[in-house]
Each structure stands twice: as C-alpha cells, then as structure tokens.
Amino acid sequence: MKTLSENRAFGGVQGVYSHPSAACECDMTFGLFLPEQAEDGPVPVLWYLSGLTCTHENAMVKAGAQRWAAEAGIALVFPDTSPRGPGVANDEAYDLGQGAGFYVNASQEPWAPHFQMWDYITDELPTVLFSAFPLAEAAQAITGHSMGGHGALTIAMSFPGRFRSVSAFAPICNPTASDWGRKQFTAYLGADEAAWAGYDATLLMRRYGFDGPMLIDTGTADQFLDLLKPEALAEAMAARRQGGAFRMQKGYDHSYFFVSTFMEEHVAFHAAALLG
C-alpha cells in the first residue's frame, strides 16, 4: 500500500492511499479519515460510497463529513467507484465503465476482468483496512449517494449483522425497473434478469429488509427522480414495516449541496448506532 497524501483535519488525519487489487486487477485508490481518537485504539468506521462519475475524492472534499466524524470519534472510508487505468474497459457514456462500477461483480466481457466492485468493497478493501489501520471491525456503518446509495443499501441488506446502521442520499432505489440499472445490469451481468435481483434495494427490502436502523433522504427537486424511483423503496419499506425513516426533503436537488446539508444528521444517526 502506498500513501499518496496525509493532511491534518479536525484533529485527525485525512489520508489517501493506493494498493494493488486482486479483485479488480489494477491499482485502487481510497480515502480514509481517522479521527484523533484513533491514536488511542480502534475506532468505529462509516463507509461512504460515491455516485456516478465520482472518484474517492468527491465526497472527501465536498460532503463535509470529517467535522462531524471527528466530533463523534468515527473513521470515514471513501472508496473509488470503479477500477481505473489504461487496461480497464471503458465507455463513452458517463453512466457505464470507469466511474460507474455500480458496486456489482460483472460477468460479461469486456467488464468481467476488472469490474468486481462488489467483492472489492465487501471483501478485499475491508481486509486491507482492518489489517493496516486502527479500525473496529465489529462497529461498522454504511452510507452513500445516488449510485453509492444503491451500493450502501444493497450491501447492508446482503450482509446481516455486519453494519449497525445504513443510510443513503438520493439512492437509486429500484435499478431493475429503471434506465439507471437496466442498461448497466445488461452490460455487466447479461440479459438474464434473475442475476440482477441481488443488486436491487427494493427487491432486497421486500425479501430481507435490514436488521438495524435506516435513514433515506431524497430531494423533491432532484432532477433524476424518475431514475431513482424512491417511491418503490418507500412502498417496500412500508409493506415490510421496516424500521427507519424515509424523508423527501423539499426543494433539494441531487447535488453535493444537498448531501452536505444533511451530512451532520446522517453522521449523528450512525454515531448513535455505532457508539450507543
């Protein structure tokens, strides 16, 4: 693992690191904020999964999460959204290829050799983090924005007991029924829609739900509402009587202005679950 940068922030350290990934067969980069409390021992960790076109850097510099995480004594992990590099398949469209991994394990060419983001986020990167940094593996939470909200919700529901809480900002809620999902799932996973079900938050909610508190925020002025399909997840949560909060925030759009506005509440929500 290489240290690309480390900067003092809110009493802690915001670092950026790279490492060779066996899952993605390329070097991967991630950001990690360690609060001051990490100097005395392992601290809880909040994963933040970013959306389309983002790298590890977008949320790291725009979401404003470090201030609130430092106060709570929580680490923040900012993974990249896809494999990258000259040998990694790509597409001219912004919503497919590099920057658009959708947190799935691709089975189709030319994506399969590198686009194993599900395994990277759920297996390989945790192994790297918990072996190299003072992080408490038993105290994890997860959140994300847009495509990353989709990833946070699907991963949380697929690993019962791993995450104490889950939240999302404007998540892609029902990708198997949306143009933000059907296009990418066909490319990455093939035409058999049965292979898509494990990557759809609404379908997973109907089948499993989440064994902890949930918080979902979406703006009423979000320019991508027809693609996000928040009503599908809300209906599934109600039908399952899932504990949690689903909020439509009046006048907010899809931007990081929206994310940063409600970040303090999301960090506090996770802190309550992680720290009691």
Mean pLDDT for back-to-back runs of 10 residues, the chain (276 residues): 98 98 98 98 98 98 98 98 96 97 98 98 98 98 98 98 98 97 98 97 98 97 98 98 97 98 98 95
The single residue of 146, 165, 167, 178 carrying the catalytic annotation is: 146
How high is the pLDDT of residue 174?
A: 98
Tokens found for residue 170: 């404007």
Helices (H) and strands (E) in the chain, counts: 10, 9
Whether 254 is catalytic is yes
Segment holding 30, helix H or strand E? strand 26-34
Rounded distance, CA 270 to CA 167, Å? 8
Instruction: Reply yes or no on whether 217 is catalytic.
Output: no
DSSP-derived 3-state class of residue 65: helix
CATH H-level superfamily of 2-275? Alpha/Beta hydrolase fold, catalytic domain (3.40.50.1820)
Q: Pull the structure tokens for residue 233.
A: 């997840």
**Catalytic hit among 56, 254, 266, 270:** 254
C-alpha to C-alpha distances, 193 to 128, 146, 159, 230, nearest whole angstrom: 33, 22, 22, 21
Q: For the segment 149-182, what is each residue's pLDDT rounded down to a tens digit?
A: 999 999 999 999 999 999 999 999 999 999 999 9
Residue 276 is predicted with a pLDDT of 84
- 80, 222, 266, 270: the active-site residue: 222
Domain definitions of the chain by residue range: 2-275
Active site residue 146: yes
